[in-house]
Amino acid sequence: MTTAAATLIPASGAGPASAASAVASSVASSAASAPAAERRAPALPPRGVQLADSAECAFNSLCLYRDYDFSGPGYSIPAGYPTDLNDVPMPGGVGGSSTAADNVSSWINNTGYYVQLVDYAGAERTLPPYHSLEESFETNDSVDAVYWLS
């Protein structure tokens, strides 16, 4: 399994399709001018899909799972859609939380794009294309939003 490093830079020339790129650019512009705590991505996109327990991640999707080993409740988010995890239902979360914010332990980026994992408290890291990540003890259950880099 390959894990992500926070210092990676998006691949040159790689970017979502034009419509998704416009959404990502718009969010990135506003995100760049606002502190991380004030950033807020749109709700789960219409094509976002709740996964069956421990389901595999579909091509061209970012998948997030509540538990380690890519198990437990999960969601598939299509490439190019920034998503605020506070708007994604996730039963059985930490401290009784019912959203995916601060409740994701493993990720699969099955897209050709870099994904920025954002903690509204200020921490950010990048998940490269076609990589998976199991959160470390220090970063587990900390991500609040996902943004697509182009």
Count Cα atoms within 13 angstroms, Cβ side, for 124.
21
Map out the domains of the chain as residue ranges: 18-149
Residues contacting residue 107 through CB under 8 Å, at least 6 positions apart:
62, 63, 64, 65, 115, 117, 127, 132, 133, 134, 135
Question: In terms of Cα–Cα distance, which of 16, 1, 13, 2 is closest to 115?
Answer: 16
**Which has the minimum average pLDDT: 62-71, 83-92, 119-128?**
83-92
Taking the model in full, what pTM does it have? 0.71
**Domain 18-149 carries which CATH code?**
2.60.20.10
Please tell me the predicted confidence (pLDDT) of residue 130. Answer: 98
Residue 23 tokens, joined: 């959404």
Summarize pLDDT for 2-49 with one digit per residue, the tens.
433 332 223 333 333 333 333 334 334 444 444 444 555 556 666 789
DSSP label at residue 26 = H
